[in-house]
Amino acid sequence: MGDQAEDNKINKNQSFYEFKDDQDIKTEESEEQQSQQPEEKNEEHKEGEAQGEEVKKKKTTSAKFYAVFITIILTLFWNMFILYPVKVVTESFKLIYNLFTVFCGEFDLKQKIINPILSVVFSLSIIYVCYSTIQGVLSSKDDVYVFWFIDSFFLFISHIMIYTIIQMSINDEFDLNFRKIFDCSGDNQDVLLVHADDFDCDLIMDLPLDDDEWKDEYTRIMGEVLEVDVKSQRFNTFANPIKHIQFRQYVGYQLIKGQNRKLRPHMGQFITLQVLALLKTLFCVFYIVYHFKTFTSKDLLNVVCITLFTTNEIYCLSSMLSNYDLRRKTLMVKNITESLVIKGQKASYENAIDLTSSESIETWDNTRRCIYEFFSETQYKLERSYICLFIYYIFIANIILAAYGEIYIVIHKDSILLQNLTVVSSTFTFILLNALIFFRIYFGSKFNETFEDLQDKVENLIGIYQDMAQMYDYNFKQRGVTIQDYINIVKYYQNIDDSNEEEEGSQKEVEKSNQEIAKQPAETASVLKDKELLESTIEGENNYYTCYEILVSKIMYISQYYIKHKQPFQGQIFTKDQESQLQMKIILNNIKSLKRIKSQIIVDNKCSSYQLFNLLKLDFKDTLFTILLGFATLLPSIISKFIEQFSSIEKPKA
């Protein structure tokens, strides 16, 4: 081949240096020009197509932004003037009807009494706050409640914006859909109101949960992203009986199957936000009572409505933004990490990956990598909902900077937004919004920690295999481990009949093992018969199989199978005299696979770890410590200025 290439090269050089007359040269030049003209036209055509696609993309982006903006505005007005008033009327009639039919048939207290009452009460509070906000903005009265209503109304707008973006992102429809905007049917409207029963809504910040969608996504990632044959993704567990050395009982998808169940809203986040909202209300009420020395029925109505309104909005925001996507992926990674656990008294060999099989290890690794890509585009789109909070956040942050730092960027010094009650309310709103963002960082850090946990688990397995290779003679010849140790586990989990025991070992070895078990302490015998006890903590030494014993026994079993059935391992058929060589080759091959996986985990940590708003990779502990450290230096000044809001002699009209 090399000589032929050289000959071609020589021929080209000879033809280049051949004598040519003027006519030949002109003919060649004209041919070159003709051949270059189509190429130039093709390049111009491609440039024109690229420019056209760029213009089309810009138009599409503008159209999407326009559709989102108009949808938010229409949804806001629809909810204020149609949806909630209609809910008040319909739920009131439903409540009256249920009260009159309370003794007819089965009676569900939650559905027929409590939920309609809650719907009416919270809908009325929303209508009252929205109406009072509009009235306060349009009137010129100097009312102490005006900004409190405005602040609550901004929270309501943020809620509607987040609701709209999540709805459009999940359905992947960034266009005007008037049927969904003007909808009174109640579909997915649970997110708009507190209910007594469990929260059940599809419009939350979570991945799609449909079984078919999960299978399609798994297949797509395996083929398009990882570029592996999905049919080859199969594995065994330690408890699988080996009927054929090439047989794998499970498909890779089963490692994540069943993890698409709905998650509940995070209770810690909900309680934290509600406590902050309650503190905000208490301090605002204290300010009003402290300054005006009276608390009329009008004040009571305003405070009750604002409290109910805030409770509902916090519930809805916490339910929508409960970080389901990060929590779900964290659980998926943790569950798949548990399948590496073969060490300790609680190890479940029924769920543990067969770590002596390179095919099973590779399938496990590809499925692990698949989790990081699972609905990643949907996750990015859903995170845009935090932009809505960011707009509200900037508005409140400007008030805080002006009130506590005397930094007047947008707000001037004598603005109504710097009145005492406004500052008190904005302070707690600022803390509340930061809490929402910090919970996002917290769950993002929890997800990122799974990379370190995975790396530790894989490093531990590499260390175990390296110890086995280093002390091969002791582990395989002097330790007293037999193939029967592995057979006992398989028998226990699979309930293998005596008729199938010839495949796993001679009947004589089995009977001998049974006699040995009978002589052992009662705790050991019960371990082999009682699954719950096997997975529980057992006191005493040598009452459970160690990871070394399990791996050594399984490798002995595999090597014996290869030799007995004359199956090739990596292209070579081994004899009984070469059993030690085969066992060592299996160990080294698994070390190689695990080291490659460790390197891949490091790469995945750099590429697939969570970044806030897809920009910043933040660690929760470091971020919290840095902010608290900076906040501690400013705390005396902040507390002093916060107290000044109550000690001021300013008394606006109630």
How far, in Å, CA of 579 to CA of 584, rounded?
Answer: 9
Residue 71 lies in a domain: yes
pLDDT at 191: 61
Residue 648 lies in a domain: no
Coil, helix or strand at residue 569:
strand
Query: Which structural domain, as residue segments, surrounds residue 597?
Result: 475-608
Closest listed residue to residue 546, CA positions, set 342, 355, 338: 342
Give 205-257 pLDDT, tens digit per residue: 888 888 899 999 999 999 999 999 998 899 988 877 666 667 788 899 999 98
**Domain boundary residue among 204, 236, 253?**
204
pLDDT at 347: 67
pLDDT at 483: 83
Residue 366 lies in a domain: no
N- to C-terminal Cα separation, the chain: 97
**Domain boundary residue among 169, 204, 239?**
204
Under a CB-based contact definition with an 8 Å cutoff, are residues 523 and 538 in contact? yes
Under a CB-based contact definition with an 8 Å cutoff, are residues 580 and 472 in contact? yes
CA triplet 176, 180, 182: central angle to 5 degrees?
Answer: 100
- Report the predicted TM-score, pTM, of the whole model to 2 decimal places: 0.79
Give 391-410 pLDDT, tens digit per residue: 889 989 999 999 998 888 88
Under a CB-based contact definition with an 8 Å cutoff, are residues 205 and 323 in contact? yes
Please state the φ and ψ torsions of residue 514, each to the nearest 5 degrees. Answer: -60, -40
**Domain boundary residue among 145, 179, 204?**
204
How far, in Å, CA of 122 to CA of 624, rounded?
Answer: 35
Total count of domains within the chain = 2
Low-confidence ranges of the chain (pLDDT < 50): 1-26, 28, 187, 496-540, 649-654
pLDDT at 283: 93
pLDDT at 284: 92
pLDDT at 207: 85
Give 501-553 pLDDT, tens digit per residue: 444 444 444 333 333 333 333 333 333 344 443 444 434 455 567 888 889 98
pLDDT at 6: 41
How far, in Å, CA of 509 to CA of 565, rounded?
Answer: 19
The H or E element that residue 250 is part of is strand 250-251
